[in-house]
Amino acid sequence: MELQAILTTLVLPPLAPLLGMVLAFVFWCFPESSPVAKLSLPLAMLSFAVLWICATPAFSAWLGARLVGESIETQSVPQAVVVLGGGRYRDGNSGNERLSATSLERVSWAAREAPAQLPVLVSGGRVYEAERAPEAELMASAMQDLLQRPVTWRDNCSRTTAENAVNSASILHDSGVESVVLVTHWWHMPRAARVFARAGLQVKPLPVGSAAELLPRAQEGLLRWMPSAGALLRTQVYWREVLASAWYHWRPLPPEYNC
């Protein structure tokens, strides 16, 4: 999983355009008459422009809007709720772990918005070896202890969205469940809903938030074109979803993962 994270980081901003600038510097070191040296300035300018654009609210909003496609929502009556994990925070000194803001937002959204009569499955395992508890256990504790919503099933092994789908489908099919309410963030929902449908579950999306939140009032007008750390982070998240959706489209589903 760490190798996959490294490869993903290499093609995402800000690292990809920064590597372009480094390469431009290397080209500049060649003899001035060399064709390679003549590429240094255009490459540097292109890399800088890409980094600037990726860090603007206007571009992050445009890219996020591209993620909102046609809904695959089923008309079947849901039989369960599935909540997907979104990461954790881990103290490197003590090893203490807690849900990330993304995971906590999904858990609280499910507890508040999902039909109260439906049983709940939480899905998330250990992505890295140093992690202690499966993320599903942290999610279940938050739902039951803080939000008073019982959790019926735990998928403690999944490390990716595809494994979320395959493992959840296996658990739910054993209990006779064929249709689910799926809870994850709006920008993750298109990919998650498609892969859950491929795994054999009928999906009713219940996304956290919507694309309408893309451009807050504080980023209107000229500020839309001014780079910011927040916009760059959103661009990174959305671009990762674009790449992952294309990857999932061409790859078969993984086998059920048992940890």
Q: How do strand 97-99 and strand 153-155 relate by DSSP bridges?
A: unpaired
Say which residues have a Cβ less than 8 Å from residue 96's Cβ, sequence separation at least 6: 90
pLDDT score of 254: 92
Lookup result for tokens 């910011």: 228
What are the phi and psi torsion angles at 131 (to 5°)?
-70, 145
Start-to-end Cα distance in the chain: 14
Query: Shortest CA distance to 150 belongs to which of 83, 78, 77?
Result: 83
Q: Reduced to 3 states, what is the DSSP secondary structure of residue 157? A: coil
Residues 134-179: tens digit of each pLDDT: 999 999 999 999 999 999 999 999 999 999 999 999 999 999 999 9
Structural domains of the chain sorted by starting position, each given as residue range(s) with its CATH number in brackets: 2-68+226-249 (no CATH), 80-210 (3.40.50.620)
* Alpha-carbon dihedral sign for residues 58, 59, 61, 66: positive
Is 243:8 a contact under the CB 8 Å cutoff?
A: yes
Q: What is the structure's pLDDT at 30?
A: 92
Mean pLDDT for all residues in the chain = 91
Question: What number of helices (H) and strands (E) belong to the chain?
Answer: 10, 7
Residue 148: count of CB within 10 angstroms of its CB: 8
Q: Are 85 and 107 in contact, with CB atoms under 8 Å apart?
A: no
Question: What is the pLDDT at residue 1?
Answer: 58
- The stretch 169-197 carries a mean pLDDT of 96
pLDDT at residue 110, rounded to an integer: 97
Check pLDDT > 90 for residue 189: yes
